[in-house]
Amino acid sequence: MKGRQAILGHLGDAQVAVLMVDGKIDDVFVESADILPVGSILRAVVDRPIKGIGGAMLKIPGGTGFLRKASNLSQGQTITVQVSGLAERGKAIPVTQRILFKSRYAIVTPDSPGLNISRQIRDDATRDQLDLLARDGMDGSDMGLIIRSSAAGQSADDVAEDIAAMRSLADAISSEDGKDPVVLLEGDSPHTLAWREWADVTDVLTDPADLEASGALDALEQSTGDLAHLSSGSMFIEATRALVAVDVNTGSDASPAAALKANLAAAADLPRQLRLRGLAGQITVDFAPLTKRDRKPVETALKAACRKCPVATEFVGWTPLGHAELKRKRERVPTAEVF
């Protein structure tokens, strides 16, 4: 099938949203009942500042949070934070004081004033129209607003409604008062995330049988395994306690260009493969035998693929042994946990 298609369903009690592009699985959101979703807004209590690293440990609902770049905080102080990533079980949950109220077309930023329109929207007439909507929607407010690229081509009423909803929500959370740790707003579910992040998808399947009938379930199950087949060669992706190890192989191709072809294919597809598995943190890639001369095109392909990925991923560099290292934000539930 050609085009983009979203399938919303359940695996047991867990929500699952799958994005298929031209018949190939491209992205997935899965739910874990015992994890606070990224984006959840919490009232937290400062447990103890950690001066050596400029952070603070916080008491949050059901556990402990860690706030980086914490300043002028004292023990027992109540603050509002947002879950910024996932933590390994038993570790403190990363949170931030830079809170975002994010919807399909608009993002309200309480601590960052100013009205901004996505740079991906280049048409001057569209930008002017969205600028007027932003000014009207945030009139009288000290909060900031970002108009997302998905707002281009949408009706003025829909965008205005989105802005009003996010502003109203931000005002309501800002007025909350109390001293005990509590969840003020739970992060979006997989189905809501799909609606928010895949705004351009018009073909949406929601019948309980669609997940299996569309082939998405089989594709999702295959993507949780260690082996990923490439257009040239293959790679094994294995999550360890410390890092994610990726091993690229040429397979049966013994031609002189086999290694470079397999490495370029792996570099282009690696962010998608990590996304489907919900893997992040430190990534170490052992490419097929690679000369220093060939590192540049592989690095370029890898960086280009990372820029297109919705999960923030940074190319760190090459190790003395010739391995590539990446650092990837933890914001997805590992898909294998659902299976």
Q: Give Cα separations from 74 to 71, 97, 108, 228 (angstroms).
A: 9, 15, 28, 49
CA atoms within 13 A on the CB side of 244: 24
Compute the residue count for the chain: 339
**Each residue's pLDDT tens digit, 134-145:** 999 999 999 999
**pLDDT score, position 70:** 82
Of 86-90, 96-100, 243-247, give the lowest mean pLDDT range.
86-90
Residue 258 pLDDT exceeds 80: yes
Of 171-185, 249-263, 268-282, give the lowest mean pLDDT range.
249-263
| Whole-angstrom distance, CA of residue 224 vs CA of residue 278 | 9
Between CA 312 and CA 197, with CA 182 as vertex, the angle to 5 degrees is 30
**Each residue's pLDDT tens digit, 38-93:** 999 999 999 988 877 788 999 999 899 999 888 788 899 999 999 999 887 778 99
| Whole-angstrom distance, CA of residue 97 vs CA of residue 312 | 19
Q: Does an H or E element contain 217, and which?
A: helix 216-222
Average pLDDT value for residue range 170-178: 92
Q: Give Cα separations from 143 to 82, 112, 114, 174 (angstroms).
A: 17, 7, 7, 11
Side chain identity at 307, as an amino acid letter?
R
Q: Which residue has the higher pLDDT, 71 or 176?
A: 176
Name the pairing type of β-strands 63-67 and 93-96: parallel
From the number of C-beta atoms within 10 Å of its C-beta (0-12, 13-18, 19+), residue 196 rates as middle
159 touches 117 (CB < 8 A): no
Side chain identity at 174, as an amino acid letter?
S
